[in-house]
Amino acid sequence: MNKLVQNLFFITLLSTLFSVSDAVQAHPQKGKPNFVVIFVDDMGYGDLGCFGHPTIRTPVLDRLSVEGQRWTNFYVAASVCTPSRAGLLTGRLPVRSGMASNRRRVLFPNSKGGLPSSEITIAEALKTVGYKTAAIGKWHLGHLKKYLPRQHGFDSYYGIPYSNDMDFVRGSPRYKKDESESKSEYYNVPLIRNEEVIERPANQKTIVKRFTEEAVRLIGEYKEEPFFIYLAHNLPHIPLFRSKEFEGKSQRGIYGDVIEEIDWSVGEVVRALKKNKVDQNTVLIFTSDNGPWHIFNTHGGSAGLLRGAKGGTFEGGMREPTVIWGPGIVKPGVVTEMGATLDLLPTFCSLAGAKVPTDRILDGGDLSPVFKGKGVSPRKTVFFYRGTDIFAVRHGAFKAHFKTRPEYGRSKITEHNPPLLYNLDHDPSEKYDLSKKHPEVIESLKKIVEEHRKGVKEVPNQLEL
Ligand code: MG
């Protein structure tokens, strides 16, 4: 072997050894991927730069959407907070767990109910295969001790247990629709560590920052073991708050400031994943619990080209801007197939090698082949529930509305016979009714709903307790 070849041999050997040790370092968690779900509150389909907002700057999420996947047909389980969260964490439509109601749409500080202990959450499913689990931020699945996150498979909890506009202090000025910021003292919401109230009213100006610091701290603490972090920001639900550094930063006004601080927060989480060398072994999912709250004018977000908003069953209420990132696992691209938060439990179980519960009906499927760029989405259908009632159904490109109702207020239900029919691939804004042209499609959609209804049993309603 001459000297040059010998040197090349050693260089190759050294670089092989280094890359092996890098790989070992990058996967200290025995092949089980970490999951970080960042679930924001009331952000609309059109509120991120990568989903077309003209003035809100979201450089971090824009970058993640290119390095990872941007999902354009991703849905939540309901158009308001409590049932949407129940659906995400259990992989089951909220009507099955009693977490949906026609009378009280979400849980309130005087509610007695919550997510039943018989439900299996993502955290509980992942615990069976050795995951560390943490819930940070908004819970809204029952604030009484027996319903808080540690009773549902999470090792720790740090957050506000319901919406940030609850516990309104009598005599405080009502929320304005102008560009001014509210005050934390007007909303006597508690900040909880595990089960103890540690601050009341929670200082909401620093809440995004503090939830971020908690996530960053836990990533460092958990790095040797597989982990699931559920980071559910209370914002941009009204009242809007942002920390000093983000005041007046966005061209979009106060709502833009909040979204830009959340984008910064996502960047800090990614930085922590990289710093702790677990980024190659993590799947991060960013989405919103429901559409924008349009009754608050510019304090609410935008559903972009979608019709409708929070509280309703048009697309704007339940289709969410979704970014799925995981450089060692997720193949970059734009995904126009359907997916839903209901799919996360079976997807995470599949990636983690955990058993999917088989003693109950699940409403989701395994999206991991789509994450990896190796298969198609199992989701072909989305049911649009309002409370316990099905208002609309999507199957493939077509969506039929059997009933519609304005999102808020003492509005009446309008029954449609024939149902309104839209082709969402051609007409995402639900403008052009095709019911007269495609009666056969309506018949097939009706059959899907009939079949589905047969499998839904009545259970005690938790929101009416
Ligand atoms: Mg919400």
- The CATH number for 52's domain is 3.40.720.10
**Same domain for 94 and 154:** yes
> Is there a single domain that holds both residue 222 and residue 283?
yes
Based on the fold, state whether residues 57 and 183 are members of the same structural domain: yes
* pLDDT tens digits, 123-158: 999 999 999 999 999 999 999 999 999 999 999 999
Shared-domain flag, residues 209 and 281: yes
Domain count across the chain: 2
- Which pLDDT belongs to residue 6? 56
Q: How far is the centre of ligand 1, averaged over its atoms, from the C-alpha of 81 (Å)? A: 4
Distance of CA 269 from the midpoint of ligand 1 (Å): 22
pLDDT in tens, 284-305: 999 999 999 999 999 999 999 9
Would you state the pLDDT for residue 409? 87
Tell me: do 39 and 158 sit in the same domain: yes
Residues 264, 127 share a domain:
yes
Enclosing domain of residue 392: 383-454
- What pLDDT shows up at residue 173? 87
CB 48 within 8 A of CB 56: yes
In the reported structure, the alpha carbon of residue 159 is separated from the centroid of ligand 1 by a whole-number distance in angstroms of 15
169: nearest Cα among 205, 137, 200, 195: 200
Are 175 and 297 part of one and the same domain?
yes
Q: Is there a domain that residue 241 lies in?
A: yes
pLDDT in tens, 161-207: 999 999 999 999 877 777 778 999 999 999 999 999 999 999 999 99
CA of 378 to the centre of ligand 1 (A): 26
Give residue 253 CA to ligand 1 midpoint distance, Å.
Answer: 20
Do 210 and 277 lie in a common domain?
yes
The CA distance from 85 to 75, in Å, is 12
**In this predicted model, what pLDDT tens digit does every residue of 149-158 receive, in sequence order?**
999 999 999 9
Please check whether residue 3 lies inside any domain of the structure: no
Q: How confident is the model at residue 30, as a pLDDT?
A: 74
Question: In terms of domains, do 328 and 406 share one?
Answer: no
Which domain CATH number covers 422? 3.30.1120.10
Q: What is the per-residue pLDDT across 24-55, written as a single tens digit (0 to 9) for each?
A: 344 467 789 999 999 999 999 999 999 999 99
For all residues of the chain together, what is the average pLDDT? Answer: 94
Indicate whether 37 and 116 sit together in one domain: yes
- C-alpha dist (Å) from residue 250 to 40, 44, 111, 190, 242: 18, 17, 37, 29, 11
Q: Is residue 24 part of a domain?
A: no
Give the active site residue among 53, 140, 143, 152: 140
pLDDT in tens, 351-404: 999 999 999 999 999 999 999 999 999 999 999 999 999 999 999 999 999 999
Q: Do 144 and 270 lie in a common domain?
A: yes
Q: Are 38 and 235 in contact (CB under 8 A)?
A: no
Cis peptide before 236 (omega within 30 of 0): yes
* Model-wide pTM > 0.85: yes
* pLDDT band for position 410 (cuts 50, 70, 90): confident
Q: Tell me whether residue 140 is one of the annotated catalytic residues.
A: yes
438 is catalytic: no
d(CA 311, ligand 1 centre) in Å:
9
Q: Which of 35, 19, 63 is nearest to 329 (CA)?
A: 35
Residue 59: predicted pLDDT = 98
Q: Active site residue: 27, 50, 53, 81, which one?
A: 81
Q: What is the pLDDT of residue 21?
A: 38
In a domain, 6, yes or no: no
Answer whether residue 302 is part of any domain.
yes
For ligand 1, the distance from its centroid to the CA atom of residue 368, given in whole angstroms, is 26
For residue 462, being part of any structural domain is answered with: no
